[in-house]
Structure 1
Amino acid sequence: MQINKYYLSALSSFVIWGFFSLALKPLHNYPSLDILFYRVFYATGLSLIINLLFRKEKLKTDWKSFVTLEKSEKINTFLLTILGGFLLILNWFLFMYAVNHVSLKSASFAYLICPIVTTILAYFILKEKLSKWQWFSVFLCVISCGILSYGDFNGLIYSLVIAISFALYLISQRKNNKFDRFVVLTVQLLIASIVLLPFFPVYRGETPTESIFYILMIVIVVLFTIIPLFLNLFALKGMNSSAVGILMYTNPMINFLLAIFYFKEEINLTQIVSYSLILISVVIFNERFLFSSKKKINKQNNYEIE
């Protein structure tokens, strides 16, 4: 099996995110908004420090490139970057609320729907092409998600909002590809901080005093925010949104296993069947990476990037 750096980056980001609940669950006694505030503010501060101290040349290069763009391209880049910041805030808050106040499986279900939503939206918005096998994979995912959502329509609606927010983030950032990915991520985090800052004095809870809160926040910011987001944005330079989206299934699969074996949440036969279908669909969707020759893969990747 031949795997390029973009494919590996996308897969690594979702594997890392799959273990996010290990750091998030111990914070379930803290309000979700507080966790969001600290996560965004810490991530923004750290990203700014990294760029200003170690990546000044990248900043200068990107600024020169931005200045030379036509007015329409500047506006488009500006709007896509702002949109990315808003979508990140919405997605993070809803996911953390689901993990800590609903159930880990409900949060996982949102990311089961997300690849389907991403694939469909990318097909209509970005005109990304899919093979017959990939459409069959999407069909299997729809069936499995339909089985899981049976009898819980309200949960399905809630999960759809989470899924659509991240799907739109992936698609919008696929188009926002003119600048260094870490610089773009930093700007989006800065935008997110500016949006949240006025709400912080009003909606924050009591200032946390336990050291475990700050230790886990550092872990969340570095390991579960900056690193996987950068890997994800980097992957979008060389893969289409549909391929990145379908790899997202590794995230809920890991969440599902953690829910069963670590957090001891109950599981039934329906869930086992549904997740098995999802695993099969992931293999089918990525059959060209798993079974094709290196030459064929490179040709397909070059087509996707164009």
Structure 2
Amino acid sequence: MKLSRHHLAALAAFLIWGFFPIPLRWLTGYASGQILFFRILLSLLLLVVLHGLGRRAAVAATWRQWQAAPARERRQVGWSTALGGILLTSNWLLFIYVVNEVSVQAGSFAYLICPILTALLGFLLLGEKLRANQWAAIGLSALSCALLGAGELRTVLMSLVVAFTYAFYLISQRRLQGYDRLVLLTVQLGLAALLILPLAPLLGARPLAGFQDGHLLLVAGLLSAGFTVLPLFLNLYALNVLPSGTVGILMYLNPLVSFVLAFLYFGERASVEQAVAYGVILLSVVLYNVVFQRRAP
């Protein structure tokens, strides 16, 4: 199969996200809240500049779309956008903490099980249907978590919290279909900035000291431009043409690359129980994405 520009864009986006732990580890020793504060702030500034330079029409169209919508839809979009901002902020904070304070493996495991957790939440909260093989995959995912929990309970609990916050974020965004995702992300980051400013001291963030720290600003700028805004653009470009199912399959590149980095780059090790658990979750991912064809009678 020949890869189109849209396939390459999706591949590039998830490969970039897979290498995210490397620059994040350059900030080991900084409070997670400090890293989060500057990632949100710099990402928001970049998005505002991008919208101002070349996406003003998209911003205006999104505003008109929301204004023309029925009152119930406007409320749903407003609440979903606000909730999404809170969940995304929580997920970023937890992921930063897990990668820098627990292990890269824990962060990778979280995003490996996230699509399966999202499917389960879709069934429980939205009444979405699941195939038999998807139920089997959910069972295998639960088994992998039990295996990890038997050896390292803290690791699996942190992974599950990270996975659940992102899964809830994805579920909350289902009501926003048809709206420009990048515009809504900018709104969400704006709300996140308003939320984190008064909470900065509680999260260990020191904005004034951070603005005088060249290393922090440089790495946070890289995280914002190279590992947040750029892959988001590539992902949105791919979604304009590719089916969401295709992009969903490619999404697994992100945690798989991070797993490879954990062992080969960061020198982390896995116990026998962890290795078996990772094997089980990989099996569940394959099983979840298999589509069985019915034979014609």
TM more than 0.5:
yes
One of 235, 239, 243 as aligned partner of 2:244: 239
Alpha-carbon distance between aligned partners in 2 of 1:6 and 1:130, rounded to the nearest angstrom: 28
RMSD over aligned Cα atoms: 3.0
Gaps of 5+ in 2: none
* Other structure's SS at 1:122 match: helix
* Contact 2:38-2:217 within 8 A present in 1 as well: no
Letter in 2 for 1:212: H
Residue in 2 aligned with 1:268?
A: 271
- Indicate whether 1:41 and 2:10 are aligned: no
Report matched runs for 1:45-194 at 5 Å: 45-194=45-194
Change (3 A) 1:143 1:12: farther
- Indicate whether 1:286 and 2:289 are aligned: yes
* Contact 2:51-2:59 within 8 A present in 1 as well: yes
Q: Deviations over 1:233-276 (max 9, x none)?
A: 67788537xx8777654333222211111011122233333223
Q: Displacement, 1:128?
A: 2.7
Gaps of 5+ in 1: 293-306
Residue in 1 aligned with 2:20?
A: 20
Residue in 2 aligned with 1:212?
A: 215
TM-score, normalised relative to structure 1: 0.82
* Contact 1:116-1:142 within 8 A present in 2 as well: no
Q: Displacement, 1:3?
A: 8.3
Alpha-carbon distance between aligned partners in 2 of 1:2 and 1:125, rounded to the nearest angstrom: 38
Letter in 1 for 2:66: F
Length, aligned pairs only: 288
Alpha-carbon distance between aligned partners in 1 of 2:175 and 2:52, rounded to the nearest angstrom: 26
Alpha-carbon distance between aligned partners in 1 of 2:7 and 2:172, rounded to the nearest angstrom: 19
* Contact 2:85-2:188 within 8 A present in 1 as well: yes
Percent of aligned positions with the same letter in both sequences?
A: 41
Alpha-carbon distance between aligned partners in 1 of 2:177 and 2:100, rounded to the nearest angstrom: 34
Q: Displacement, 1:285?
A: 2.7
Alpha-carbon distance between aligned partners in 1 of 2:69 and 2:211, rounded to the nearest angstrom: 45
Letter in 2 for 1:119: A
* Contact 1:111-1:248 within 8 A present in 2 as well: no
Q: Deviations over 1:167-188 (max 9, x none)?
A: 0111111221131111111111
Alpha-carbon distance between aligned partners in 2 of 1:66 and 1:105, rounded to the nearest angstrom: 41
Q: Displacement, 1:231?
A: 5.3
Residue in 2 aligned with 1:300?
A: none
Alpha-carbon distance between aligned partners in 1 of 2:110 and 2:205, rounded to the nearest angstrom: 26
Residue in 1 aligned with 2:262?
A: 259
